Structure 1
Amino acid sequence: MFNKFFDKFEEYAIAALVIIGTAVVIFQAIIKYLIPDAAKAAEEISQYLYSYLSFFTLGYCMKYSCDLTVSLIHYKGRLQKLLNTAILVFCGVIYAILLWGAIQAFITASGAGSASGIPLRFVGFSAVLGYTIGLLRMIQKMIQKWNNKN
């Protein structure tokens, strides 16, 4: 049960964030004329939700191979498997470096949003969570490719 939930985790999170973000933006459009100060807080919250949404899509794109690729040369057999693995390892190293930077930014973040009062660490955690999920999905994809499972 847990494995199935983790397999669909990004999809559930993205759907929930889109629904909540849409509701916040609609609320912001309505409240903008009644209480302008509350509209600023709603705008800030929608920006935070967008941050989480964009980082959750890293793992989703990695899982379904929706990342940017260039297919100029096609190899067959073991060479293709080796090159694909090398590219995934390289991307994994890049994600690990970005994760390390996100962790450092999360640790050093202080203060809160000006209108909503939400701590900036909450926004920084979106990058940590997104790169962690993306790195896990990349490792999962590498294992699947190495075992010839698509």
Structure 2
Amino acid sequence: MFKQNCTMMCPVDLTTVNENQARITALSVFILTLIYILTGYWLLIAFLTIDFLLRAANLGNFSVLSRASGLLASLLSIGNKPTDRAPKRFAAIVGSLFTAAIAVLHLFSVVFVPYILADILAIFALLEAVFAFCVGCHVYSLIRSLLSAKS
């Protein structure tokens, strides 16, 4: 029915989402993060934090980026490419942690660190958007292997 996007040990919940829509969302995250990096406008990061949290909580219907990506995919007649939702949700959890850290560090006027984290976030989002490279799967696999090595 659907092809798992990751060749590694990814989380699975057997619910599908549109891979193409997720990649458009990742492109939006990349663009907004890049604008933050260039301008320092922290409200973009606050917006991304909320949007990531909604998607991480399986409330994608309330996510502005998810809804806009779905509309754009529909307008451009980009087909549905089913993939499991769990890796995308794990990536949203990681994204919410990154953006929350960036926002807090920015608000406390920490120099450089929020921008370094934003650079990493932008790179991860760009890899997903352009190459469908699942950084979250690699992180998840690493965590799983570290946990299983301790057992």
**TM-score normalized by the length of structure 2:** 0.34
Q: Identify, as 1 or 2, the structure richer in helix.
A: 1
Bigger Rg, structure 1 or 2: 1
TM, length-normalised to structure 1: 0.34
Bigger relative contact order (CA 8 A; separation at least 6): 2
